[in-house]
Amino acid sequence: MDVVKVEQGMMKGVLCDNSEGTYFAFKGIPYAKPPLGRLRFKAPEPPEPWQGIRDASEHGPICPQYNERLQRIEAGSEDCLYLNVYSKTLQPSQPLPVMVWIHGGAFYTGSGNSDFYGPDFFMRHNMILVTLNYRLEVLGFLCLDNEEVPGNAGLKDQVAALKWIKNNITAFGGDVNNVTIFGCSAGSASVSYHLVSRMSEGLFNKAICQSGVCIHDWAYSLYGRQRAFQLGRMLGIDTKDATKLVQFLRDVPVSSLVNIKLPSVETSHIDITDGICFSPVVEKSELNVENFLAETPIDIVKKGRLAKVPIMVGYTSAEGIELGKVFPSTLNFLKTVGAVIPRELKLKFDESRLRDIDEKIRKFYFNGKELNKDMVQEVVNLETDKLFAYNVSRFARYYRHLTSMPVYLYKMAIETERNFTKKTYKMESIPGVCHSDDLPYLFNITCLDIPLTDESKQYIEQFVQLWYNFASTGNPTSTKIAVEWKQFTDKERYCLIIDKELKCILNVDAENMKFWENIYDEIELI
């Protein structure tokens, strides 16, 4: 029977049948009250009950957005706080492990819908997959540093979804004490935010971060309030009064709040990561509202205020293609002093230290040569480490050191016809796996024409098996994997290279990691 009863009422799903077998799908389940009218920009409120049997055969509306993958505006709806539950069986002999996917998209694009995050590969296993929408861009991340709009509504949406799952997943056959949250890019940074936020405590049991952690410069904005007033000016209100601004922004049509392009922020050290206009912020702790994040992520991490759960973290072998794709249009910017230095450090260094570090980084990545338009490979190498790999490794070091929980580090290196993003960027001449090109090995993507060959099927099976093993047992190589993936510690830095052949090796990218540890002055942890 495909009818389940949750706290809000009864709902009817559908039984899906494909070449991988059968599973139940329940889509468009509201996990919070629609954030409309006076609730625009506010933290989510609990969902309301319904009468009768709700039809759960179709996805709910997605957040209004520019769909980056399909390159079009999606009108969606502000009433977008829905999740989807896929379960192998509703009456298992024992409760099923639950995996909760938080989508990425630079906090301004994406949804949990099955056209991109199709559950089929996971549904070979006895488990539950949950995917969800949350508010994006201005709707999800406007911040005015006041009680009306303290910021981080989109992350608070995710907390509301996790609470709903905690309260209701047993109705679908799920194990409420075995919930793994996972995500990629901004979704991965979100996952790691739940590891550091008190608001998320006790809502999950394991976490997987794919190509993103909260300590990345791109994962949080230092200029939330400034961006809000810039937006107001762009839309026609020039005021310094936050109350007037929020009243104005509550009334503008939602289409005015999508795909926003704002001028650079006024700062002495402009940084490429400040191009993400609306994203997580450090909330003002003195406000009389529950905050999600009241200190910078790195301060929370260094204080050891971390969830005590096992984690998997990793990155792809050529993350920096995401930046290399726009080179050499960024050439002049990259030539400016400080452009190659991470924002976190730029804000700490005086002028002479800035110049010294800038020179060291250029010497290391550009071999002492003046950067020119032909050096795309060098730029990709720099951005892979600076914007992704180093801080993933750094987060793993602190996490293991301060929690003593199991940490598994990986580097994804599989290249087949499934690696569609690199092809889309026309960057095939650059070796390695581009940012987000791990996704087609986890999800059945139907909105894009991505081939599925017999060869890539075996890599998909292996990839999903690792993720499922970790979610179900806490050990990614517990079953059906020939190689032992050893835990990462600061002394023994094991890393699983996820390639056509799996290899667990010590000290991956050791020279580059050591270089950045020197730059950050973190050879020895606290």
Beta strands in 68-132 (DSSP E): 72-74, 82-87, 96-102, 128-132
Distance CA 110, CA 185 (A): 11
Contact status, residue 223 vs residue 274, Cβ threshold 8 Å = yes
Give the number of other Cβ atoms within 10 Å of residue 18's Cβ. 11
8 alpha carbon, distance to own chain's centre: 29
List for the chain the helix, strand, coil content (%; round to 5): 35, 15, 50
Q: 283: helix, coil or strand?
A: coil
Read off the tokens for 431: 């070796």
Sheet holding 82-87, edge to edge: 14-18, 21-30, 82-87, 128-132, 96-102, 174-184, 206-210, 311-316, 407-412, 494-498, 502-506
Q: How far is CA 406 from the centre of its chain?
A: 21
Nearest to 461 by CA among 478, 442, 448: 442
Tokens for 383, please give them.
């951005």
Main-chain dihedrals φ then ψ at residue 487, nearest 5 degrees: -70, 145
Pair 125, 464: CB distance under 8 Å: yes
Residues annotated as catalytic (active site), given as ranges: 185, 319, 435
- Among 518, 221, 489, smallest CA distance to 357 is for 518
